[in-house]
Amino acid sequence: MTDPDSFVPQDTKAQAESEDSCDVGRRRLLAMAGGVAVLALAPGVTVWARTMRAKGLVDAHPVRYGLLIDANHCQSGCDACVRACNQYNGLSGQTGPDNAQWIRKVTIQDPKTGFTRTFPVMCQHCAKPACVAVCPTGASFRRADGIVLVDKHRCIGCRYCLMACPYQARSFVAHKVDDQKPWAPRGKGTAEGCTLCVERIDRGKLPACVAACARRGHKAMLFGNLHDPQSAIAKRLAQYASTTIRADLGMEPGVHYRGI
């Protein structure tokens, strides 16, 4: 029997086998024992690794992109982030119930005190995203750097992710899509949401919404690597109190908020 993994030339191996069949038997026994050991240990190691990762003891990836949105600096009446997103990603900007919106300005008001705040809400790029958990095909997925995306080639358009997302951050493409941007492919009949402008990030640029906010001088949106203690976003999060939306659901959003 030939061993495809062997680096020993076959003719030499045959000669060795004929000379010392006892040695071959021992080798086979060792190989089998090794295989059995791997089979026995693999599930345990996998469970251990998952547990460690879940506890945050093993960092899966040195990069986790996220946002810090400071509602104290977000201006009422300004929708530069929304318009920049629509323009960059080729969205119509229409706001009918069947139009896609990747980012929206939300206004909240405390009915008892009248306290009002306005700020953008988009896909929260969760560490444990419900949209990924419920997707039957794996079309909803999370990149190693924490960005949650939809693979349009796998999406069956069942909309279960729209049902599951607590942030109403997913949209369904219910209209024909014309003039698509090459960097933001869309497809009628598929789900979609904020990509954090992944193509810009991969080129070292800020997401369109963050860049637009900065151009306005509002500085309400800060983008960066949450896992890098030296990054501006990590330092700001360490310095000031912040929160995430529906933190009680345990999805660990990558978008943090101040002032709400």
Partner 1 sequence: MATLAYREIGGKSGRYWALVIGSGALVAAGLGAALYMRAHGHHVTGMTNQIVWGMPHVFAVFLIVAASGALNVASIASVFGRSPYKPLARLSGLLAVALLIGGLWNLVLDLGRPGHLLDAVMFPQWRSIFAWNIYLYTGFLVVVGFYLWFLMERRLERHSKTIGLVAFLWRLVLTTGTGSIFGFLAARRAYDTALLAPLFIILSFAFGLAVFLLVLITASSALSRPLGERLLKRLKGLLVVFVAAALYFVAVYHLTNLYRAGYRGIESFVLVSGGVYTLLFWVIQVGVGGVVPLVLLLTAKTRLARRMVVASAGVVVGGLAQLYVLIIGGQAYPLRLFPGFVVHSSFYDGVIHPYVPHWPETVLAVSGVGVTTLIVLIGVRLLPFLPASLADEAIDVHGHKGRPAQAPKSVVPSP
Which residues here bind partner 1, judged by CB under 8 A?
A: 82, 95, 97-101, 104-111, 121, 130, 133-139, 153-160, 162-168, 170-176, 187-191, 245-246, 249, 260
Distance separating alpha carbons of residues 49 and 187, to the nearest angstrom: 37
Share of the chain residues as helix, strand and coil, in percent rounded to the nearest 5: 35, 15, 50
Task: Tell the smallest beta-carbon distance from residue 3 to partner 1 (Å).
Answer: 32
Nearer Cβ to partner 1, position 16 or 164? Answer: 164
Task: Tell the smallest beta-carbon distance from residue 1 to partner 1 (Å).
Answer: 33
Task: Tell the smallest beta-carbon distance from residue 260 to partner 1 (Å).
Answer: 7
Nearer Cβ to partner 1, position 188 or 215? Answer: 188
Nearer Cβ to partner 1, position 47 or 133? Answer: 133
CA 177 vs CA 89, 173, 186, 190: distances in Å:
12, 8, 7, 11
**Which pair of structure tokens corresponds to residue 102?**
């990747």
Nearer Cβ to partner 1, position 160 or 206? Answer: 160
Task: Tell the smallest beta-carbon distance from residue 14 to partner 1 (Å).
Answer: 42
| Three-class DSSP category at 3 | coil
Nearer Cβ to partner 1, position 103 or 201? Answer: 103
Distance separating alpha carbons of residues 216 and 220, to the nearest angstrom: 10
Task: Tell the smallest beta-carbon distance from residue 160 to partner 1 (Å).
Answer: 5
CA 229 vs CA 20, 54, 143: distances in Å:
60, 20, 21
Token pair 């990558």: residue: 254
